Amino acid sequence: MLLKDKNVFISGGTGHLGEHLVLAFAKNGANIVFTYHKNKEKAEELISLTKEISLTKEMPGKTAALPMNVLEQDSVERAVTQCVQELGSIDILINNTGIAQVMPLPLVEQEDWDLLFDVNVRGCFFVSKEAIRHMIAANNGGVIINIGSVAGLRMLEVPVHYAASKAAIHGMTYALARELTRYKIRVNCIAPGLLEGGVGANIPPKQLADYLAHCAAGRPGKPEEVASLAVFLASPEASYINAQVIVCDGGL
């Protein structure tokens, strides 16, 4: 129960990593609003799972889901405003929305490049901007965790536009951490390596074998391992960790 009574906003809550983030924060007593784009059915299933978790807790948190399109600033503003109305404040922001596109650079068109940067980078900017306004107004400090990728840090066989978009998130993390110091808002980033399921389920066998050959753990990561790290970074236990891109890749 590291996060009892803390209010959390998680973007991209119905994604493969997103659902594990929602469940991990629920298990630690947080009140959660998470967003989804189109998969309302998955969002409702996730809310049911968090209610089952809450039954085992003496002080259960509450969970709600909101539709949000990170490509539309008005949609982001509505979702963040509704979150504050639902929970009263935002103590923790998890920027998890992101997409990938497996394509060699010579085949990448301008619209492909723009789409990844619009979702992965501009979306993070929109959500952060709106949430930070409320966090500053509340004057209670706070925590922001961005989800980056080891693809933006290592020389790996990954799509160039995906790697570039994730590297941008890492840069945003450093700059935001410095800017928000005066408001006692910590900003960190988690850079996962290859994870089971999700995008990792579609990796070609050759690339998977190469990754495993260089990974000290000898296996892909589990999304719940990343979610556990996010819970720790969001908690008071990590109060001296700020402006970091923390790699969670099994040791590459």
pLDDT in tens, 226-238: 999 999 999 999 9
Tokens 């890492």 belong to residue = 170
Residues 19, 23, 25, 31, CA torsion sign: positive
pLDDT tens sequence across 70-84: 999 999 999 999 999
Residue 96, beta-bridge partner list: none
Q: Which amino acid is at 218?
A: G
Share of the chain above pLDDT 90, in %: 89
Residue 186, beta-bridge partner list: 143
Q: In this structure, are strands 31-36 and 185-192 parallel, antiparallel, or unpaired?
A: unpaired
Q: What integer pLDDT is reported at residue 165 of this predicted model?
A: 98
Residue 231, in any domain of the structure = yes
Residue 8, beta-bridge partner list: 32, 92
Residue 234, in any domain of the structure = yes
113: containing domain:
7-246
Report residue 107: phi and psi, to 5°. Answer: -100, -5
Q: What is the DSSP string of the chain?
A: -TTTT-EEEETTTTSHHHHHHHHHHHHTT-EEEEEESS-HHHHHHHHHHHHHHHTT-SS---EEEEE--TT-HHHHHHHHHHHHHHHS--SEEEE---------GGG--HHHHHHHHIIIIIHHHHHHHHHHHHHHHHTS-EEEEEE--GGGTS--SS-HHHHHHHHHHHHHHHHHHHHGGGGTEEEEEEEE--BSSGGGGG--HHHHHHHHHH-TT-S-B-HHHHHHHHHHHHSGGGTT--S-EEEESS--
Q: What integer pLDDT is reported at residue 33 of this predicted model?
A: 98
200 pLDDT tier (thresholds 50, 70, 90): confident
pLDDT tens sequence across 127-174: 999 999 999 999 999 999 999 999 999 999 999 999 999 999 999 999
Number of domains in the chain: 1
The two three-digit tokens of residue 33, written as one number: 């609003």
The two three-digit tokens of residue 23, written as one number: 């469940």
Residue 252, in any domain of the structure = no
**Of the residues 36, 162, 174, 240, which is catalytic?**
162
Residue 1, in any domain of the structure = no
Residue 170, in any domain of the structure = yes
What's 12's domain CATH number? Answer: 3.40.50.720
Q: Which amino acid is at 32?
A: I
**Cα dist from 126 to 77, 129, 135, whole Å:** 8, 5, 14
Residue 251, in any domain of the structure = no
Active site residue 162: yes
Question: Is 80 exceeded by the pLDDT of residue 249?
Answer: yes
Query: What is the distance of C-alpha 204 from the center of its chain?
Result: 25
57 pLDDT tier (thresholds 50, 70, 90): low
